[in-house]
Chain A
Amino acid sequence: MERRDFIKISALSGVMATLEGCRSAEKQLIRFIPEEELIPGIATIKPGVCTVCSAGCGLLVRVMQGEAEVVRHGQQGLIKMGLAKKLEGNPQHPVNQGKLCARGQASLQMLYHPDRITHPIKRTGPRGSGEFQAISWDDALKEVSAHLGTLQASGSANSLGFLSRPLSGQQGELMTKFLKAYGAPPPVWYQPFDEAVLRQANLFSFGHAALPTFDLHLADYVICFGADFLGTWNSPVAQSISYGEMRQGRPGRRAKLVQVETRMSQTGANADEWIACRPGMEGVLALGIAHVILAEKLAPQAPGSRPGSLIDGWQAGLPEYAPEAVEKQTGVSVAVIKRLAHELAQSGLAVAMIGGPPLAHTNGLFNALAVNALESLVDKSSILSFTPQTGDAAPVQATLAALHTLSAQPPQMLLLYEANPVFSAPPATRVREALAKIPYIVSFGSFIDETSVQADLILPDHAALESWIDSVAESGSSRAVASLAPPAVLPLHDTRPMPDVLLGLGRQLGGEVAKALPWATYDAMLRAAFVPLRTRPGSIDVKTDDDFWDAAQTQGGWWSSPSTSPPLAAVKRAPLSAASPQFAGAAADFPFYFLPYVSQSFADGSLAHLPWLQELPDVLTSAMWSSWVEINPNTGDRLGIKQGDLVEIASQQGSVRAAAVLSPGIAPDMVAMPVGQGHENFTRFASGRGANPLSILAPLTEQETGSLAWAATRVKLVRAGGPEQAKLVLFAGGMSAFPHEQERR
């Protein structure tokens, strides 16, 4: 016996004495013949498109061979197949240029999520109980087409509803064509933070009803009102790339970022100067700055048709916006207003931005138009531009009003796709009650969430990496971008892509619908949409359509060659007079402004089911797996609230409880909560965790556009318990300032 074995066995016998119990080994599964040829250990890189937010970044998916438990013709077994291991940015893609944000990286977990619906299921228990039972694809499709058929036959075709999140690519086109041909009203697009106010303002100020693109790498001075452009707003990756260049990309030139907010966002944390402004008063501050610029003629006076004309009193030099008056309304001192005006006008290329919370007030449009006016005054070389669109389809307007039509006259049959209004719409919109009244609901989602649990039948969609995906970037690049990606991996479960299911239903319905959707499969439809782009100057110049179609797939889409951005021209419109923001709830009973901000980990709550994001420490509080309320330390002392205590926030609509986090980056009269937690049933990682701030929002809407004013609710705050009940999970131990300066080289 070798010496080594002797030592091992003697050590082993000591240990063996304490061990007991053993479990059944993994039962032997049969192995199926692989359906694709891959060399084990070697990665193949396939293009992809990120569908997590509307930015539409281009992906590279690293696919390697692995062994998955699958079901083939009714039997469970293992099969060697290509599996997506890592998502990376597509270096050629003009929007994200090889980079990716935290949420994009984590979207890979949607493909392998343990709670994905793996085959069609039919409701057995009462609606919303969550009791479903498996059903085959044939029966399910037969049932749906039967319902569609009877609906159309009975002449009430117009009572078919389609509720979905805004989709910029051909999926949206397919839904619109299907419903139009069927005779139903167009799809209801719903997204909690839909920036409809900014699109409306940009239509008036610049003639483009779209989100703007910022070439920050050209800027020397950026003043941003509320937009978290480095975190979750608009196209965060593209903006972060240009932010990096703006800071250290040009030797000797470093731009300044001024952020005007009431609660410090992740972007605000990077600002050289952070200015606290009373909520809803950002527009007044912008006009105060414009007043100083116009009064001291710091910038050339622009011709009449500029966006300024949309503001009442612009021609007269904005008399009511003297710095002293603005200081009273916004809380920003006169000296700061004057200094900002001088810096903005005299420091090279400047740009003014607005987005997010400032537009979520009853006077959101006024704030937007005011900042757009300031922007046109100071932006000498159009750092603000608009991404040319490939199709003619105007970007989708998703407003709260659309939801109201749904609950006002509920349709006979509703199709649901990746929208979760029951979770994210304010209670006053009574979406849950509206769904209860709809006789038949079919959902295409791959997860059971608060809305799809109300469905009668769920036809699970492929995951994004298993299906044909395309998207048109609304912003984030100076070139027109149409991203395209074939499936990166074979489907893991018995799921079918939603577009092909619609095309199938269309064929079964026949008649108008079949004529409107002539394509056999969805990729044929994509091909038909993409091929016309061949003639336009862009990233692929080949002779034949087939070559173009193949090149588009391998490159991950098509983008036009760099062109000058379309001209900006204000729309003739009656000027808007100043409007102060209204708040729900009297100041006496509800002393605090309430800001439910878009969370860095969960965006609008649709990503709360990903464990990587649940465990991602929030960058400003380091909280994981929990909900929290940000409170100013002085307010906390005044109310006897310590770090980690359980606090209750109550508005007129309801109340929520969460842990308190004392943070200096918020105004004493405001409390803020991240959106995303508080799901009732949304997979094992998100269900029953934390609190949902959107559930206590008042149904106030922006006066002009009818979009939800989600920052216009006032609340009261009271301590409700100690740290034991709050169970705040923090990754960081100490919050105190960095104890000692770093040793310089």
Chain B
Amino acid sequence: MQPTAEQIEQDLLRPLFHSSGKYWVAVAIAASLLLAGVAAFGYQLYAGIGVWGLNSPVFWAFDITNFVFWIGISHAGTLISAILRLTNATWRRPVTRCAEAITVFSVLIGAIIPLCHIGRPWLAYWMIPYPSERHIWPNFRSPLAWDFFAISTYLTGSTTFLYLPTIPDFAAVRDVSTGLRKKIYRVLALGWQGTPRQWQRLEVAMHIMAVVIVPVAVSVHTIVSWDFAMTLVPMWHSSIFGPYFVAGAIFSGIAALILAMALLRKFLHLEQYLRPIHFENLGKLLLTMSLLWFYFTFAERLTAWYGNSPPEMAVFWESIRKHFAPLFWTMVVCNFIIPVPILAIKRLRTITGTAIASATVVVGMWLERFLIVVPALEHKFLPYSWGTYRPTWVEDTLMASSFGMMALLYLLFSKFVPMISIWEMKVGLQSHGGVPMVAPAEGHVVLEGPQ
């Protein structure tokens, strides 16, 4: 049964105007996690990084794992919504904004994490290439400098990519709201009237952004992988890291997206809009990524094992058999053995099925980054200087607070912006009858062709 245009508008605007008790409980939990993280960061700033579990030779662990994890999550959003827009997949309409929201917030968290994990955060501004009388510039050969540029570009890119499609919705909210809310949304809507010229310009802008954001997203995670690949550390220094990380990013991103959509569907009662077909398609996408991830992991480990160079083998056996074996096999179970059967069998590929699979994938992908970083650093070249690593409560708190921050941002976002784009749903409604699509304002052909 097709919801009518009015019903769409009413359903999607409802969360903006009143929130249930459960919403405030969720916000409270997320805010408390975030506050715990801020307190932990304050203590770490006061005392020093020593409150973490890092030591020599393991100088990176939870900090870089969380960084790569959150930047990984962010890639699914833009990539999926961009690709779906470019390929005109009709089922994309309710999915794109959730995805873009995940991207923006996880890039934001990903950008904040390095600030919290460097030894002297108050000097982080030296990463900015400002001209100074000291004739000192950042070192442009350093992968961290590339990270800085790549992530700032990606943050601005994905924010604009999120903001453009929401302008019509801001206008819709502006028209129905009053008082202060009206003033805010009038500003946010940038004076949108829905004239054909505005629609035409919006379409072109979204089209350009969709085309541009894909290479930026791919480049960001390649550069993040070069934080490892550009060193001589065994099991890091390999050319597979670029594609491996991008595949891993899309993989964990889709999983996060499915999870977020499942939660939204339940809590914001969007059953009519986030229908099983969406979970079906995303589930298939998750299945392909799981297979691709397994292929990359197998290829990397096989080449290391087959090459049999002693430093590499020291790290290899460490994660396959010795210290990190339980974590390694948990990762393989989470990323491959659980998701593939669930997603492959049509009967299991229901909403709850895909949600379960993606939950394990998110955990698995966090472990995967952890198992790239820590075993290699612990067993680097000279056996005398090998070390062991154990996290401390500060690192656990900071990790939990990153999830808390994501949840908080997402919950607040769902209060201020309709999670599903109203105008796109309406456009989708009209095109359903096989008639060439005409924009709400007449006289203009919209992007997609006949169904």
A touches B in complex, CB < 8 A: yes
A21 / chain B contacts, CB cutoff of 8 Å = 46
Q: Which of B45, B124, B128 contacts A18 (CB 8 A)?
A: B45
A4 / chain B contacts, CB cutoff of 8 Å = 130, 132
A622 in the interface (beta carbon within 8 A): yes
In angstroms, Cα B386 to Cα A7, docked, is 40
B67 / chain A contacts, CB cutoff of 8 Å = none
The distance from the CB of A7 to the nearest CB of chain B, in whole angstroms, is 5
B31 in the interface (beta carbon within 8 A): no
B310 / chain A contacts, CB cutoff of 8 Å = 739-740
B125–A8 touching, CB < 8 Å: yes
A3 in the interface (beta carbon within 8 A): yes
In angstroms, Cα B45 to Cα A739, docked, is 40
Within 8 A of B (CB), among A17-40: 18-21
Q: A733-B385, A739-B314, A739-B383 are in contact. Are A7 and B130 (CB under 8 A)?
A: yes
Interface size class of A (residues with CB under 8 A): 20 to 34
Q: Which of B42, B132, B378, B383 contacts A738 (CB 8 A)?
A: B383
A19–B45 touching, CB < 8 Å: yes
In angstroms, Cα B38 to Cα A735, docked, is 41
In angstroms, Cα B310 to Cα A94, docked, is 47
Of chain A, the residue at the smallest CB distance from B38 is A18
Which of A4, A18, A733 has the most C-beta atoms of chain B within 10 angstroms of its own C-beta?
A: A733
Q: Which of B122, B311, B384 contacts A15 (CB 8 A)?
A: B122
B388 in the interface (beta carbon within 8 A): yes
Contact mask for chain A residues 724-743; partner B; CB cutoff 8 A; 1 contact, 0 none? 00000000111110111000
In angstroms, Cα B185 to Cα A534, docked, is 102
Of chain B, the residue at the smallest CB distance from A741 is B310
A12 in the interface (beta carbon within 8 A): yes
B379 / chain A contacts, CB cutoff of 8 Å = 733-734
The distance from the CB of A722 to the nearest CB of chain B, in whole angstroms, is 15
Q: Which of B42, B45, B121, B384 contacts A732 (CB 8 A)?
A: B384
B38 / chain A contacts, CB cutoff of 8 Å = 18
Within 8 A of A (CB), among B166-198: none
A588 in the interface (beta carbon within 8 A): no
A11 in the interface (beta carbon within 8 A): yes
Of chain B, the residue at the smallest CB distance from A739 is B310
In angstroms, Cα B311 to Cα A19, docked, is 43
Residues of B contacting A: mostly = helix
In angstroms, Cα B40 to Cα A18, docked, is 10
A7–B128 touching, CB < 8 Å: yes
Q: A18-B41, A739-B383 are in contact. Are A3 and B122 (CB under 8 A)?
A: no
A739 / chain B contacts, CB cutoff of 8 Å = 310-311, 314, 383
B143 in the interface (beta carbon within 8 A): no
In angstroms, Cα B384 to Cα A735, docked, is 6
Of chain A, the residue at the smallest CB distance from B124 is A11
In angstroms, Cα B128 to Cα A7, docked, is 10
The distance from the CB of B411 to the nearest CB of chain A, in whole angstroms, is 22
Residues of A contacting B: mostly = loop
A7 / chain B contacts, CB cutoff of 8 Å = 125, 128, 130
Within 8 A of A (CB), among B329-384: 378-379, 383-384
Contact mask for chain B residues 121-139; partner A; CB cutoff 8 A; 1 contact, 0 none? 1101100101010000000
A733–B384 touching, CB < 8 Å: yes
B42–A18 touching, CB < 8 Å: yes
In angstroms, Cα B385 to Cα A735, docked, is 10
B440 in the interface (beta carbon within 8 A): no
Q: A11-B125, A19-B42, A19-B45 are in contact. Are A733 and B387 (CB under 8 A)?
A: yes
A733–B386 touching, CB < 8 Å: yes
Contact mask for chain B residues 377-421; partner A; CB cutoff 8 A; 1 contact, 0 none? 011000111111000000000000000000000000000000000
Within 8 A of A (CB), among B287-346: 310-311, 314
Of chain B, the residue at the smallest CB distance from A16 is B122
A19–B46 touching, CB < 8 Å: yes
Of chain B, the residue at the smallest CB distance from A735 is B383
The distance from the CB of A421 to the nearest CB of chain B, in whole angstroms, is 38
Within 8 A of B (CB), among A702-745: 732-736, 738-740
In angstroms, Cα B388 to Cα A364, docked, is 45
The distance from the CB of B97 to the nearest CB of chain A, in whole angstroms, is 30
Q: A15-B122, A18-B42 are in contact. Are A736 and B130 (CB under 8 A)?
A: no
The distance from the CB of A615 to the nearest CB of chain B, in whole angstroms, is 14
In angstroms, Cα B387 to Cα A739, docked, is 16
A11 / chain B contacts, CB cutoff of 8 Å = 122, 124-125
In angstroms, Cα B379 to Cα A21, docked, is 41
The distance from the CB of B307 to the nearest CB of chain A, in whole angstroms, is 13
B388 / chain A contacts, CB cutoff of 8 Å = 733
A3 / chain B contacts, CB cutoff of 8 Å = 130
A733 / chain B contacts, CB cutoff of 8 Å = 57, 378-379, 383-388
Of chain A, the residue at the smallest CB distance from B134 is A4
Within 8 A of A (CB), among B37-64: 38-39, 41-42, 45-46, 57
A15–B130 touching, CB < 8 Å: no
The distance from the CB of A16 to the nearest CB of chain B, in whole angstroms, is 10
In angstroms, Cα B383 to Cα A732, docked, is 8
Contact mask for chain B residues 191-217; partner A; CB cutoff 8 A; 1 contact, 0 none? 000000000000000000000000000
In angstroms, Cα B378 to Cα A734, docked, is 10
Of chain A, the residue at the smallest CB distance from B45 is A18
A12 / chain B contacts, CB cutoff of 8 Å = 122
Which of B39, B41, B379, B384 has the most C-beta atoms of chain A within 10 angstroms of its own C-beta?
A: B384
In angstroms, Cα B384 to Cα A622, docked, is 9
Of chain B, the residue at the smallest CB distance from A15 is B122
In angstroms, Cα B121 to Cα A11, docked, is 9
B45 / chain A contacts, CB cutoff of 8 Å = 15, 18-19
The distance from the CB of B315 to the nearest CB of chain A, in whole angstroms, is 11
Of chain A, the residue at the smallest CB distance from B381 is A739
Of chain A, the residue at the smallest CB distance from B43 is A18
Q: Which of A8, A734, A738 contacts B386 (CB 8 A)?
A: A734
A622 / chain B contacts, CB cutoff of 8 Å = 384
The distance from the CB of A425 to the nearest CB of chain B, in whole angstroms, is 37
In angstroms, Cα B121 to Cα A721, docked, is 43
The distance from the CB of A726 to the nearest CB of chain B, in whole angstroms, is 15
In angstroms, Cα B130 to Cα A19, docked, is 27
In angstroms, Cα B314 to Cα A739, docked, is 9
Q: Which of A8, A15, A18, A734 contacts B383 (CB 8 A)?
A: A734
Of chain B, the residue at the smallest CB distance from A738 is B383
Of chain A, the residue at the smallest CB distance from B314 is A739
In angstroms, Cα B132 to Cα A4, docked, is 8
In angstroms, Cα B39 to Cα A734, docked, is 37
A732 / chain B contacts, CB cutoff of 8 Å = 383-386
A740 / chain B contacts, CB cutoff of 8 Å = 310-311
The distance from the CB of A8 to the nearest CB of chain B, in whole angstroms, is 7
In angstroms, Cα B443 to Cα A437, docked, is 115
Interface CB pairs A-B, < 8 A, 24: A4-B132, A7-B128, A12-B122, A15-B45, A15-B122, A18-B41, A18-B42, A19-B42, A19-B45, A20-B42, A21-B46, A622-B384, A733-B379, A733-B383, A733-B384, A733-B385, A734-B379, A734-B383, A735-B383, A736-B383, A738-B383, A739-B310, A739-B311, A740-B310
Query: A18-B39, A739-B383 given. 12 additional CB < 8 A pairs?
Result: A4-B132, A7-B128, A7-B130, A11-B122, A12-B122, A18-B38, A18-B41, A19-B46, A732-B383, A733-B383, A734-B379, A739-B311
Q: Which 5 A-B pairs have the closest CB atoms?
A: A733-B386, A734-B383, A18-B42, A739-B310, A734-B386
